Structures are given as structure tokens and as C-alpha cells.
Amino acid sequence: MEDLIGYLDEIQSQLTFAAENGQHARRLERRSDELATNILESLSDQQHSVLTAAMSQVEQPLRASMITFGIEPPSTSDARWCFDQYFAELNSRFDGGFDPELSGSAHPEELTPPSGLLILGRLQGRPVGCGH
């Protein structure tokens, strides 16, 4: 198993190094996919379950480490998307729904300096949440 991990690390290193050479990178990516397919096909159901659980456990902190934060005006489309997602979540949690117009939600002027600010979280450039 350590040999496999070493081999996969080597492929990852080669992919990173070859990023500017698209053809070589695509060939390495194909080889990596083929290797992963061969590995998965050789596993028993139990081994597959264990591997999948381990991958999920590793993925969560990796994804969390890729989140970036920045101050953003509340009028941007990404900020509005975050608000819409938040309000939709609240709407789904309450039996009578949720109407943001009837709530004490912050107004745009409360989310801009000097009164306040809006912090937007992004994962791979996409908005994933916000706070103030």
C-alpha cells in the first residue's frame, strides 16, 4: 500500500510539474485515472467501504483548508446568492416558512464600512457562505 501511495504521489508531482504542458498533463491524468480504476476494481466491498470512508474523512479538512475569506459589498451577485441560500435554509426549517422582509436581517448599509462589513467565504472561487 505504501508503494501505491508513493506512486500516486509521484504522479501528482508530475502533474503539478507538467501543468504548463497540457498534452503531457492529460496523459498523466489518464494514467492516474486508469490506476485508480484498477485499484478500486480489485477491492472487496468491505475494502471499498473502508477506503471511501477514509477518503471522506480526509476530504473534509482538505476542502476546509481551501476556503478563502474576503470583505465584499453586500450588493454583489455572490453576496446575494449567499443571502438567498441562507433564507432558503431558514424557510425550510420553519413550518410557516421564513420571510426575510419580516425579519431583523441586516440592511446593506449595516454591512458596509464604517457601520459594518460582510465577509464572504469562497471555495475554489465559488461563494459558500457569508457572515458579518
Grid coordinates of 131: 457572515
Q: Is the pLDDT of residue 126 over 90?
A: yes
Span 25-49, mean pLDDT? 86
Spell out the residues 6+ positions from residue 127 whose beta carbon is closer than 8 angstroms to its own.
78, 79, 81, 82, 120, 121
Based on the number of CB atoms within 10 Å of its own CB, is 53 exposed (0-12), middle (13-18) or buried (19 or more)?
A: exposed
Span 85-109, mean pLDDT? 85
Specify the length of the chain in residues.
132
The answer to whether 97 touches 87, Cβ cutoff 8 Å, is no
- Count how many Cα atoms sit within 13 Å of the Cα of residue 119 in the half-sphere of its side chain: 6
Indicate the pTM of the whole model: 0.56
